[in-house]
Structure 1
């Protein structure tokens, strides 16, 4: 029971800590903030490490990493652009970005920094981040990827 409460508390903390906040600037319309601060990155690495260690799935999290490998697209079912990120902690994650629902990141290269907001799923190699796009049916938190100053969702 204590483990379940800890997991729930971490999930709630991650949600409120890493959910993009709305803000206004200079009278412009409100837009979602897609920046991951250094403190936020350290926190997200800690949350992701905990999720990996405890095999937690379905965890909404924001983070940032460096592209270490570009993989071929997954074309079975919904098409996904796939690449591997290395977090500051050293942990690697597979990112599966749905390119049927969000734009492909055409300029992505090894060594690039990518920020993300999506759903973590555990696997023995470090885990997968998916749901890095909007949900056309509005039933799931919308995710995103930020690369080169552009948001892909």
Structure 2
């Protein structure tokens, strides 16, 4: 009986993964490939801007995404509950995103300034102001995709 339960869970997980990666609404769940070539990375990021634009327009959330933006504004840390380093980035399309980086689980990005480039892998949540990217760190419980931020050649996770 336990074997059937395990097989059922595996089948449901595989079906969900296929659905997310092949859904008809044009949203795509990026994979965290550490040996992605530079050209592939540029294509992923260009696709991310389009995906994030569609997600904003359609008020979609819970999208695991790999993208890039330029720091528009560094905000004060959120210190209520889990501490988060917060800043706003602008995508090449002009859309802005709030990045909420959990600094209880990942290192703070030191020296972050307006105009800096940031590459990210995290989860997008819709908001009226363009959206929020969070889960830019490893999940200590192992139940969520591990995210990260890259700034000046260093990865923060």
> 1:38 deviation in Å?
2.6
Larger relative helix fraction: 2
> 1:11 deviation in Å?
8.0
Deviations 1:45-72 (A, max 9, x none): 0000010011111110010000010000
> 1:13 deviation in Å?
6.0
> 1:107 deviation in Å?
1.6
RMSD: 2.4
> 1:19 deviation in Å?
1.2
Pairs aligned (count): 138
Matched, 1:20 2:24: no
TM-score scaled by structure 1?
Answer: 0.82
- SS of residue in 2 equivalent to 1:37: helix
Q: How does 1:114-125 map to 2 (within 5 A)?
A: 114-125=118-129
Deviations 1:51-108 (A, max 9, x none): 0011111110010000010000000000000000000000000000000000000121
Q: Which of 66, 71, 79 is equivalent to 2:70?
A: 66
Structure with larger Rg:
2
Contact 2:72 2:115 in 1 (8 A): yes
Quickly say closer, same or farther: Cα 1:10–1:129, change in 2 above 3 A. farther
| Gapped regions of structure 1 (runs ≥ 5) | 24-32
Q: How does 1:23-38 map to 2 (within 5 A)?
A: 23=35, 33=36, 37-38=41-42
TM-score scaled by structure 2?
Answer: 0.80
Quickly say closer, same or farther: Cα 1:69–1:53, change in 2 above 3 A. same
- SS of residue in 2 equivalent to 1:50: helix
